[in-house]
A and B are shown apart, each in its own frame.
Chain A
Amino acid sequence: MENDVQKQLTSPSKATRENIRGKALTFIIASLIIVLTVAVIGFIAIKGITTFTKDGVNLWDFLTKSNWNPGSIKDGKPEVGAAPMILGSFLVTLLAAVIATPFSLAIGIYMSEYASKKTNKLLRPVLELFTGVPSVVYGFLGLVIIVPMMRTIFGGTGFGILPGAIVLFVMIFPTITSMVVDALTAVPVSYRQAALALGATQWQSIYKIVLRAATPGILTAVIFGMARAFGEALAVQMVIGNSVLMPTSLVSPTATLTSQLTSQIGNTIMGSIQNDALWSLALVLLIMSLFFNLLVKMIARKRKI
């Protein structure tokens, strides 16, 4: 009898056991995802490093030279200068995010602060619809509409970073906007009420309170938008001119890491220098996206003060 009571009192209660089980379950799932993530990243890192370890390419040459011709050997070393692609990816993504963010914020603010519930119900599915358009379709639209437009405005061929960024803007815009709307609507109504009660105008409450409170969510949205832009190939490839040249202006043909990678990897033999060099591009992409991610977070931390 006494023992039973003692047992009951010293052993964990049903609620505790349940909690431990729940915690364990979610922990296992989280670890699984981490294992998957680390597996992919490790796989790419190992494959990407072979170019430098096995094929003897100089890392500095890889990052700064602009001759991309992995098949041909010059002075005993394969020609793998990835600088144009690194610059191309960097500029296209940055530009697309710079164009998309203000528009996403505008729509986000409109939907969370100004618009009626009915308008929202109409606007939202239409916005999200655009994430499902296959990239080939966007690429084709860009080729027949934006490239000729660039050609008439700027002269030259019309292919380049600017049309690439415009196409990407349309592609990443829905992702950013949907997440921004979520971030803004998650800000409690009491914040707005407090601001308005203090005599602030609606814009002051939005600008000074709501946007600040939603900053982490907005930044995550931008990060995911940029990530999508980094990884996009098929559409960009059709409008950027896909040639490994240093960009001389925003409308001169160049290439991105992803477009080179996608257009050539199927044609290369696994384990050959051509193939290794492409995996190195994937590794560079990963590192660049890590850099962007940290940069955005650092800006966020500064703004919080």
Chain B
Amino acid sequence: MDAKKVDRIAKRVIQTMVLMIVVLLVLILGYILVTGLSQTKLDFIFKISKAAQAGGGIRDQLFNSLYLLVLALLISVPLSLGAGIYLAEYAPDNWFTRMLKTLIEILSSLPSIVVGLFAYLVLVIKFQIGFSIIAGAMALTFFNLPLLTSNIENAFRNLPDSQREAGLALGLSQWKMIKGILLPRIVPSIITAVILSSGRIFGEAAALIYTSGQSAPILNYANWNPFSPDSPLNIMRPAETLAVHIWKLNSEGLTPDADAISAAASAVLIIVVLLFNISAHYFGEKLEQKLTAKR
């Protein structure tokens, strides 16, 4: 067979596979959205949840999911950025470094419940932080760190050496070169990593049951004092997220309309994730344009 024929066949095969996946994804998406949004009035987004009666909403859970996302990223992005830079630019390439990287990678295979229980026993009980949104954010950091660190490290490694040489030749210190030249170039990779881990944060249930808890005090959105127990900004309050709420409705829900609410909540969750992803890509692109000369 000549190369041109192979080329055509390969392209056709790849296109078919892409088509299959797209159809599959559209079907799943359609199923979740249609079953979710057809059964409930949309104003349930702004109502508080109810354990016993029908007609509950997801107001606080939705807010908690978003707040937890912000907190978790605030902790894990700087940490993994630092570690990623160290591993890619400074660390000597020896067996010790390789072992550390492997350890970090296998950390992400731990079942969420194990990490949840670890965080529960150490943070919630031992350090007496209590069931709180900050304990949940720290537990999620354990999942995010491996993926974020390894993505950032790989992104640095993939940059051509000419960039580094150019920077150093201009008399910049290695640190300035990393910060000023390399870092802006890997913004798109950081965005991908953030989006992937944010998906995990939005969808995680098992680890949060033991850390940020599976019930939430009803919040008072007029209260901005971060130390008051019903303030939405308080990081020490227990916080049930949307995914935990969906899990709870599905596992022990006594609410008469549990199925409808959980389907609708899943649909809302998907829409929120989509909005987050699109805006992250958008701002990531803007940031990259600002930091580099790329147009």
Interface residues of A (CB under 8 A from B): 15-16, 18-19, 21-23, 25-30, 32-34, 36-38, 40-41, 43-44, 102-103, 106-107, 109-110, 114, 121, 123-137, 140-141, 170, 173-175, 178-179, 181-183, 186, 188, 200-204, 206-207, 216-217, 220, 223-224, 226-228, 230-234, 257-258, 261-262, 265, 282, 285-286, 289-290, 293-294, 297
Contact = CB atoms under 8 A, between A and B. Distances in A.
A234 B204 CA distance: 10
Interface string B52-91: 0000000000000000000000000011101101110111
Interface stretch (B42-50, B193-201, B221-229, B286-294): B193-201
A233 B112 contact: yes
A37 B104 contact: yes
> Binding site of B, secondary structure by majority: helix, strand, loop or mixed?
helix
B32 A262 contact: no
Given A107-B17, A231-B110, A233-B113, A130 B83 contact: no
B254 interface: no
Contacts of B25: 126-127, 130
Interface stretch (B2-10, B128-136, B231-239): B2-10
Nearest to B76: A33
B149 interface: yes
B15 A110 contact: yes
A30 B112 contact: no
Contacts of A224: 105, 108, 146-147, 150
B169 interface: no
Nearest to A199: B3
B161 to A, nearest CB: 11
- Which of A110, A170, A206: most chain B CB closer than 10 A? A110
B79 A32 contact: yes
Given A30-B86, A286-B109, 16 more contacts: A15-B176, A29-B78, A30-B91, A33-B79, A33-B145, A110-B15, A123-B22, A130-B25, A134-B266, A136-B247, A178-B192, A179-B151, A183-B154, A203-B6, A206-B10, A286-B110
Given A19-B173, A36-B142, A289 B109 contact: yes
Nearest to B65: A132
Contact of B175 (A19, A29, A103, A174): A19
B181 interface: no
Contacts of B102: 290, 293-294, 297
Interface of B: 3-4, 6-7, 10-11, 13-15, 17-18, 20-22, 24-25, 28-29, 31-32, 78-80, 82-83, 85-87, 89-91, 100, 102-115, 117-118, 122, 142, 145-147, 149-151, 154-155, 158, 160, 171-176, 178-179, 188-189, 192, 195-196, 198-200, 202-206, 243, 246-247, 250-251, 262, 266, 269-270, 272-274, 277-278, 281
A132 B202 contact: yes
B107 A29 contact: no
B94 to A, nearest CB: 14
Given A223-B105, A261-B114, A131 B174 contact: no
A207 B31 CA distance: 36
- Which of B14, B243, B269: most chain A CB closer than 10 A? B14
Contacts of A285: 109-111
B137 to A, nearest CB: 14
Given A26-B82, A223-B105, A18 B176 contact: yes
A26 B90 contact: yes
Contacts, number: 274
21 contacts: A15-B176, A25-B82, A26-B85, A33-B83, A37-B103, A40-B107, A102-B17, A103-B17, A106-B17, A107-B17, A109-B14, A121-B281, A131-B195, A134-B204, A134-B205, A136-B251, A203-B6, A227-B109, A228-B109, A286-B109, A293-B105
Contact of A134 (B15, B192, B243): B243
A15 B106 contact: no
Contacts of A18: 173, 175-176
A16 B173 CA distance: 7
Given A106-B17, A107-B18, A220-B150, A182 B28 contact: no
A93 to B, nearest CB: 9
A136 B111 CA distance: 15
A204 B146 CA distance: 34
A201 B199 contact: no
Contact of A136 (B28, B89, B250): B250
B154 A38 contact: no
A181 B154 CA distance: 13
A289 B18 CA distance: 29
